[in-house]
Amino acid sequence: MSLAAAFNRSVSVRGQTLNAFRKTRVLFISSNTSEAERDKPPKKRWRRSHKSSILSDDKSWEERLADVVTPLWRLSYEQQLEVKQKQQETIMSQLLGHLSCDRSKPLFPVLPILPSPVREGYRNKSTFSINRGVDGNPKTVGFYVGTGKQRNIVCVSGDHLLNMPEKHKLVARCYQEFIRSSPLEPCLLFHTGGHWREVTVRTNALGHTMAIVYFHPQTLTPEEVALHKADLVEFFTQGPGSVCQLDSLYIQECTMTRCTHEDSPYQLLYGQPHIYEEVLGFKFRISADAFFQVNQSAAQVLYGTVRDLCVPNTEPGGVGRTLLDVCCGTGAIGITASPKVDRIIGIELIKQAVEDAAHNAALNKVLNCEFLSGKAEVVLPGLMSCLSSASGSLTAVVNPARAGLHYRVIRALRNQPTIRRLVYVSCKPDGEAMRNFRELCCDPDPKKKLTGEAFAPTLAVPVDMFPHTPHCELVLLFER
């Protein structure tokens, strides 16, 4: 299919068609873009301004924190979108610069960035740290300004941050009040002892709230720990913390920087084990440690875009069509796309997320999804040989973490001739994902066992999931 045809396809996004965007500015990425422009890393510009803002003395602590967490906060939302649009266009130019593609067919459009419907207080998950505050109090809950390496960390309250909802700020203030009243010390550096650690707050669109407190038991006995847990429960259910109206309160006893549920189980101290979120009419169960997009309203834009790029409205119905959802988390992409395809196969590393995905499919009475647990690089190659013999078309959507996909996953996708269309969703397309893009698009290389026909990028859609920050999600369509 031609690139122009790819772009002309009617793809519906939030009730609009992508075609409608043709009326607005669309940059066609071309391999003729100047080397200078291609090589300009937008990320570094942010790093520089971020660093200088920490070092400058004339700003309040609140401003310094806002400059770290939400560095675009001084710009209007329209200006923020312009910054991100340029950033994504530059990254896409870099991609084309890397590809040894035929320079006579350099076109692929980067559509105008899709804005977040909610711009303030949009986060549904926040993690607040503990450390010395501006006044030197080591029991301060907030976010860090400075770095551990430079030994200049100051913990500043996040009450003024634009991306944080009021409920998260309230829980953080209450947790600070609780730890200040507790006889136990905070755990600032593992080797110097202390117990109370960060708190994560998760909320849904209905305002249901889950708090997860992380705790280092050090040398306390289980009986001693139980007393402090009881204090925590009492504070949030009967005491001053009851204003938070928590629906769930968890604790995780964790002796490492991070522990999975398997390393150390999340213990439900009070309330419901899960909260639920709705996306594009589907309900999702959220466990304490499950991945879920942090901006629910923008997640609807993202998933709608991904669904429509995986299965364009102009193509015949889903009969015989299988969608592979690689790194599926709790199944959101597959489940929201399920009405348009015959079969969804999700693959996910975290066992609990796979259980959530299966639960979510059942909750929504979606019967055409199955979810496989394990590393995609282990599961996918075997799965491909089974799918080769199956009839019907195969489309893949991949949404890995920042580390990108293992080359075995790329090899399995690329060497499967029935996959003609692949959608890559990346929160950091200039990082490891760029290596994946190159592996998908390079000339066949028998030495690397990349024998399948090369893919080519045909459409890029940036989606703003994180207003006031420089981060942006990129949905990139590859075809062959």
Ligand X SMILES: C[S@@+](CC[C@H](N)C(=O)[O-])C[C@H]1O[C@@H](n2cnc3c(N)ncnc32)[C@H](O)[C@@H]1O
Query: Please, what is the minimum distance in Å from the beta carbon of residue 348 to ligand X?
Result: 5
Site string for ligand X, 266-305 (x = CB under 6 A): -------------------------xxx------------
d(CA 139, CA 142): 10
Task: Supply 237's token pair.
Answer: 């259910």
* Residue/partner pairs of 415-420 with CB below 8 Å, 24 or more apart: 415/384, 415/449, 415/450, 415/451, 415/452, 416/384, 416/387, 416/388, 416/452, 417/452, 417/453, 418/387, 418/388, 418/393, 418/394, 419/324, 419/394, 419/395, 420/393, 420/395, 420/479, 420/480
* Contact status: 412 vs ligand X (CB under 6 A): no
Tell me the residue ranges of DSSP E strands in 299-450.
Answer: 322-326, 343-348, 369-373, 394-398, 419-426
Q: How far is the CB of 143 from ligand X (least distance, A)?
A: 22
Q: Find the binding residues for ligand X in span 32-91 (CB under 6 A).
A: none
Selection from 138, 165, 450 nearest residue 296 by Cα:
165
Residue type for position 65: L
Residue 19 annotated as binding? Answer: no
332 binding ligand X? (CB under 6 A)? yes
Q: How far is the CB of 291 from ligand X (least distance, A)?
A: 4
Min dist. Cβ of residue 366 to ligand X (A): 15
Please give the residues from 353 up to 372 whose contact with ligand X meets the rule CB under 6 A: 353
User: Which residue in 375, 408, 420, 438 binds ligand X (CB under 6 A)?
Assistant: 375
Q: Is 348 annotated as a binding residue?
A: yes
Return the number of the residue (275 or 353) whose C-beta is nearest ligand X: 353
C-beta closer to ligand X: residue 310 or 349: 349
In the list 372, 383, 401, 442, the residue contacting ligand X (rule: CB under 6 A) is 401
Is residue 327 involved in binding ligand X (CB under 6 A)? yes
Tell me the residue length of the chain: 480
Q: What are the residues facing 109 on neighbouring strands?
A: 28
How many residues touch ligand X under the rule CB under 6 A: the total is 20
Q: Shortest distance, CB of residue 80 to ligand X, whole angstroms?
A: 22
Which of 333, 419, 422, 475 is in the footprint of ligand X by CB under 6 A? 333
Closest to ligand X by CB, 11 or 349: 349
- In terms of CB distance, is 86 or 375 closer to ligand X? 375
Q: Are strands 108-110 and 125-131 parallel, antiparallel or unpaired?
A: unpaired
427 annotated active-site: yes
The answer to whether 234 is a known ligand-binding residue is: no
Q: Which stretch binds ligand X (CB under 6 A): 88-96, 342-350, 430-438, 440-448?
A: 342-350
Q: Which two tokens stand for residue 389?
A: 């013999």
By CB under 6 A, is residue 349 in contact with ligand X?
yes
- Catalytic hit among 427, 441, 442, 472: 427
**What long-range pairs does 181-186 form, CB within 8 A, spacing at least 24?**
181/235, 182/228, 182/231, 184/228, 185/138, 186/130, 186/131, 186/138, 186/139
- Which tokens hold the place of 85? 């649009």
The answer to whether residues 199 and 171 touch, using CB atoms and an 8 Å cutoff, is yes
Are the C-beta atoms of 247 and 265 separated by less than 8 Å? no
Give the nearest residue (CB) to ligand X: 329
Contact 299, 305 (CB under 8 A): no
297: nearest Cα among 126, 117, 125: 117
Q: Which residue ranges make up the annotated binding site for S-adenosyl-L-methionine?
A: 293, 348, 399
Residues placed in the known binding site? 293, 348, 399
> What positions carry a catalytic annotation?
427
Contacts to ligand X by CB under 6 A? 291-293, 327-330, 332-333, 347-350, 353, 375-377, 399-401
